Structure 1
């Protein structure tokens, strides 16, 4: 906060205490300083104030007065070049408006702040099914084919937009049927087995029959004369190895141990920049993936579905064992890949052929006709990076209990022959209580019970009838909706609101026990539960999902990055960037550090590839770890790769797009859309040499100037970063980057570092924005005018020097907005 704003606020508090707050709303102040830009003739930012009276009579007026006092507090209005009020006049105005807003809020919002009966979104449904039935929903996502959820301001859990269509109901039926099937295990406990394979990994003749092409010898895959097989590129031809003993997938879902014996060969190569998609001397990255080949086609490498489960960096030519314990879903099988090899074996064969004159070993093959002999010969003499695979071993499944917890919830200790009318009704009620996340109400299940009994009477097998009942329960409103009622939340409703906030899933037994005993109304119990839940591994869902929704990461990795940024794919930067930001958030949460740290942190979390991308001192390894950014251009959220990539389009950058993104995500301000009479095409820019000059001409349009005064400065500062967040001092055409700007307050900066210093002074504005985003996510609705006083109190608490991010979560959970509906 700058000195002028601080002084103004102090004066405002003194004036308020002296009784001036009872004065009428300051219409004369508006007439003197505001109406010229927000009156009958001109409505900058689509705001008009001349119709405001001495009292606030509706919510629209309340929002306008709130905007006015916010702008006065921030020192952004009136604009620097306009007539300015004295500090005393400004303080009295702020106090008067603040008092008027407080009175109006009490009168106008008594029926607001209500979250409608909210459907579980795709992410919540996925994890609720997983936790209820003890299914691994990373391997099998029951909501994978659901239609996308509508987003409101980036958030996809807004109850008003989560409608249920006929198509979605069809998906619910299919997902429920498959979930019940996967969770049912009446057979004997699966035996843990060991599987192993050494060279060969490729086959010819009858050995390849019925195997997908991944296992076949071709121009870039051959049976070696050695006890190992070399991989050459990232593409599946010559870069992936299948595991024949488990071809067709494992018979039983569960945890398996996978071991791979491998070595890194020729990390330093003689081909110079010819292999531009591999940095000379880099470690080789081995990737373990789980794949489903059912219904696959050749164009996808004989894979229908895949999931990366682990990476290992290799630096030694001496073979070593690498081990992972991971879930493998029924029908999936392991595959080993060369994650950072050259793009494709086909390409490198062409490259080394072109280098024949420089490398005598290549010469005998250079003029040969294309075919197996030439390609195999070139690969054998190739002296570039090779991932050498000796052995692959798999053991499992490792099962902690049998049958699993999901089966026991459905069937208890019953066998199919034990099922009859009485036991079926009993199991339906037990299952429904778990699925509905609360005790059943009297006769609530009668319609489903009658349906199941009718099916039995019609001759349906008891097990099939019971499973039909389970499926119906999983499609009922009590499962797929959060029904919170109105007023103060009951214990079970509060338990669900808390668990879907911090776990994106159903409450566990301890939370439900507190709900049943009425303990959740005790703030101390709520505080303790928040701490417990944030320490639970399930809280990773909150961290990942909230950060994703807050920063609108749907475009991260979805919009193809231009070919000139090949490093983005080679070094797996998408994953590293997302990991950096979520680990940064997790760190602040676990250490209970102040939200200000999002802006002023002089450290971040990088792996080898991301450190190189940021031009930081080298680090070793693929795992993310904390490093100092002191003295560099990096520091805080705005200079992290995910922020910079999500605010670009993968090809080029726009100060307007990035400026709006920064305003929304950091300062909590969303500019209004352009006026209808302003065309989408930029104004005449003939003669404009730079983006800055183009925007200067754009700002010459009066209707655009006011918003661009806020947007452009932040966007200009971020022009020092390219579309994937690398530092740059000039554009591709050699034009220098000018990252200087001036904030609406008149404060000037030369680059991102100076802008960062100015934003750190406004950290209270960032904290308010983050508080509103977290509240929006927690409630499943937009923050309304009636929530303003709650947010105000939370921000007052967060102004304490030792208040941290975990305290902010606690403050939201014990707030009136969270505890009531």
Structure 2
């Protein structure tokens, strides 16, 4: 006799009794015995109906679900321990059978793929590409430029997400016109250099002030004291000349400055950027000043300015919790009667003004001391000029010469050989402009604009009308360069593609060159930001009343810590374990102050040693990660658990049911309860328990860290009866292993290094291939993981293994 569930299964597949008889085979019998009861018509745990999954593996509609079934059964997680357990022989037979079905369907699925695949460039890739192609700096994120990229789990380069609308097309045409205007300007621009001293900026001619210094016998020069909250509009004439920067371009700024830091206070900080409020600035340049006032330091940096712009190029001294406000403070110190040379010169300090120093000369607030500022620009580097050499044809060029120039340009822009017939439309546009009386260069720019707005430039195009399984060397060159450089291949990579040497030792040689080139920093910046979903940091600004020490510079420093940490791991080829636990981090003075670490010797990021009492180490205890999984007022253990599941284990939990109620604040008349206690009550719902059992331990382990990542032992509960409750960070993983605190939890994670490495490889491949991985990629992922394991999972070795893998050659 057939069981009821077997008959239902047969009916759902459109089978009669013959189909039910087939259900008696080992594969279906295993599902009927061990799976359908909880994932069938009577129950639907995890929103999965095994009886409704398609058995047609050639179409692949449910292959991702079947792959999950293989993994769950293979790992022993399913069937659950409380259910009847199959024997090892039964498990092996089932897994072998299901794996064979997936493999048999793969060839059919691969054969039905579209012959040509298009992957649109992200905004960042477009920016890098026009720079490497034409030496032009262009900001596609500026308002009015290219549309924002759609995200898929943090990744901004997934082809299926990057559509092309009429709005996109219009903006691409404007962008191409702007880029060509900057590459080949009609009028020459001469760089200017302006230098202003503290006397120029603060004291006018300084004659009266110098006379006062002479009377007091003070030999030190006058300095500009920038007190906390002081904002100067640096584009004003007294700061950067009569007109300031006039043309879009690269500008170099040099500042000699130092800082005064109160005992136990934050380091002085300088922010230069766009004013967003009375005392806030969206910083283009941010840095801490650790140089003491006796030994000022020269700080040099470059910034690209878009002109015309309403940009207020500002210099701001901020001090976090110590920031002072008030008209009296601002007016007194802005007065020309307030002189300053050094904190020890007490004779100069106006006793009636708000005090900046105590009776021992110690600063009461973090203060910036400015000696001089210098800017130069717009600048064009020799490397940028070289990219444009020879691109324009001579004024008297024949049509044949113009065609040759256009073909060379199109091949570089399209990243492959260009056929003459593909360029016919653009040459026709050139002839039309010439016939209308335009100069050769102006007419040729019309043709170039056509090349830059072609789908062959905007998209990475893989394939041709004849379906094939592997990339050409030209396509592989582009895939490699956009993986590691986020940009177009250079001449050497083009030459390798043209010569057919992108295989074997030739491929290894090129990958090594790409990884050691400075452009690999783009991969570090972009992949880290996307993999760890750093765009979420700051989405819910922390409540200033609850977290008064949190400010924009701290947030930017937190983001920088993650990226600089990855850079150190990558450049030193450190083992993957360091992502989970380490005895060091990368920190600047602001982060050291926040974490309670020894301050680095300079104002930038440096490697800083950690001790157990610092309670840091690895990605999971960084302020950025803990902050992006919070809501601005409180930590969110479930969100932290989901983030760990996605970023570290590569598993995206199913979304919660639509009717699940939110966790409410603590009632005033009830005993104070932790979020953990409220979540445990929430888990009593049978519809929530299964998923939360997997998610919650991954998030509750970090309950000692508040919404901005600071350590605490008690959870702050605003309302309720009694004292704030003690935090319990213990938990039990789904496999039964228990932990008492974050330190033990991280040790358990490291025991799963193979699983973590595989997830990291999958994230890398998603980024490199620009698509969501499928069950068909499983064997290639296994091969990459095996190669990486031989090298002890060194981070750069893992990236190298992905770049040299067979998967990278497949369409």
TM-score, structure 2 as length reference:
0.81
Matched with 2:533 is: 552
Asked if 2 retains the 8 angstrom alpha-carbon contact of 1:235 and 1:345, the reply is no
Matched with 1:128 is: 129
Cα distance between partner residues in 1 of 2:400 and 2:56: 66
Q: Which digits, 9 at most, give the CA deviation of each residue in 1:557-591, with x for residues without a partner? A: 34322213232317x22222222222222222223
Cα distance between partner residues in 1 of 2:277 and 2:403: 50
Deviation for aligned residue 1:759: 1.4
- The match for 1:487 among 447, 469, 485 is 469
Matched with 1:714 is: 698
Matched with 2:7 is: none
Unpaired runs of 5+ residues, structure 1, are 1-22, 206-224, 270-278, 292-296, 354-360, 362-373
Deviation for aligned residue 1:619: 3.9
Cα distance between partner residues in 2 of 1:424 and 1:300: 55
Q: Which digits, 9 at most, give the CA deviation of each residue in 1:137-179, with x for residues without a partner? A: 46x8678732221222321211122111111111112111111
Whether 1:79 aligns to 2:80 is: yes
- The match for 2:554 among 570, 573, 583 is 573
Whether 1:695 aligns to 2:675 is: no
- The match for 1:326 among 292, 296, 302 is 302
Deviation for aligned residue 1:375: 12
Question: What secondary structure is seen at the aligned counterpart in 2 of 1:735?
Answer: coil
Structure-2 change in CA distance of 1:80 and 1:653 (3 Å): farther
Question: What secondary structure is seen at the aligned counterpart in 2 of 1:324?
Answer: strand
Deviation for aligned residue 1:457: 1.8
Q: Which digits, 9 at most, give the CA deviation of each residue in 1:226-248, with x for residues without a partner? A: 83221112452699998634353
1:129-168 counterparts in 2 under 5 A? 129-137=130-138, 145-168=145-168
Asked if 2 retains the 8 angstrom alpha-carbon contact of 1:264 and 1:387, the reply is yes
Structure-2 change in CA distance of 1:461 and 1:396 (3 Å): closer
Cα distance between partner residues in 1 of 2:446 and 2:495: 29
Q: Which has the higher contact order (CA 8 A, sep 6+)?
A: 1
Whether 1:755 aligns to 2:745 is: yes
Matched with 2:716 is: 732
Asked if 1 retains the 8 angstrom alpha-carbon contact of 2:79 and 2:85, the reply is yes
Q: How many residue pairs align between the two structures?
A: 736
Structure-2 change in CA distance of 1:238 and 1:127 (3 Å): closer
Unpaired runs of 5+ residues, structure 2, are 1-23, 206-219, 333-337, 339-349, 718-723
Cα distance between partner residues in 2 of 1:525 and 1:185: 40
Question: What secondary structure is seen at the aligned counterpart in 2 of 1:667?
Answer: coil
Single out whichever of 253-262 and 52-61 deviates more from structure 2.
52-61
Matched with 1:742 is: 732
Asked if 1 retains the 8 angstrom alpha-carbon contact of 2:195 and 2:372, the reply is no
Matched with 2:35 is: 34
Matched with 1:655 is: 637
Q: Which digits, 9 at most, give the CA deviation of each residue in 1:33-73, with x for residues without a partner? A: 33332122111111122456999565245333321221233
Whether 1:337 aligns to 2:316 is: yes
Cα distance between partner residues in 2 of 1:51 and 1:330: 57
Asked if 1 retains the 8 angstrom alpha-carbon contact of 2:581 and 2:746, the reply is yes
Matched with 2:364 is: 384
Structure-2 change in CA distance of 1:161 and 1:302 (3 Å): closer
Structure-2 change in CA distance of 1:141 and 1:430 (3 Å): farther
Q: Which digits, 9 at most, give the CA deviation of each residue in 1:416-471, with x for residues without a partner? A: x5567566544433332322222321221111111221122233444432222222
Across the aligned residues of Structure 1 and Structure 2, the Cα RMSD in angstroms comes to 3.8
Matched with 1:181 is: 181
Structure-2 change in CA distance of 1:438 and 1:588 (3 Å): same
Asked if 2 retains the 8 angstrom alpha-carbon contact of 1:26 and 1:93, the reply is yes
Cα distance between partner residues in 2 of 1:82 and 1:347: 69
Structure-2 change in CA distance of 1:739 and 1:402 (3 Å): closer
Asked if 2 retains the 8 angstrom alpha-carbon contact of 1:659 and 1:716, the reply is yes
Deviation for aligned residue 1:552: 1.2
Single out whichever of 124-133 and 68-77 deviates more from structure 2.
68-77
Q: Which digits, 9 at most, give the CA deviation of each residue in 1:715-734, with x for residues without a partner? A: 21122211121112122121
- The match for 1:529 among 510, 530, 533 is 510
Matched with 2:223 is: 228
Whether 1:248 aligns to 2:243 is: yes
Cα distance between partner residues in 2 of 1:776 and 1:738: 36
- The match for 2:765 among 766, 775, 791 is 775
Matched with 2:621 is: 639
Structure-2 change in CA distance of 1:402 and 1:510 (3 Å): closer
Deviation for aligned residue 1:805: 2.3
Matched with 1:317 is: 293
Structure-2 change in CA distance of 1:179 and 1:141 (3 Å): farther
Deviation for aligned residue 1:518: 0.8
Cα distance between partner residues in 1 of 2:384 and 2:628: 44
Deviation for aligned residue 1:532: 0.9
Whether 1:268 aligns to 2:269 is: no
Q: Which digits, 9 at most, give the CA deviation of each residue in 1:370-414, with x for residues without a partner? A: xxxx999437889633322222234566655399134425326x4
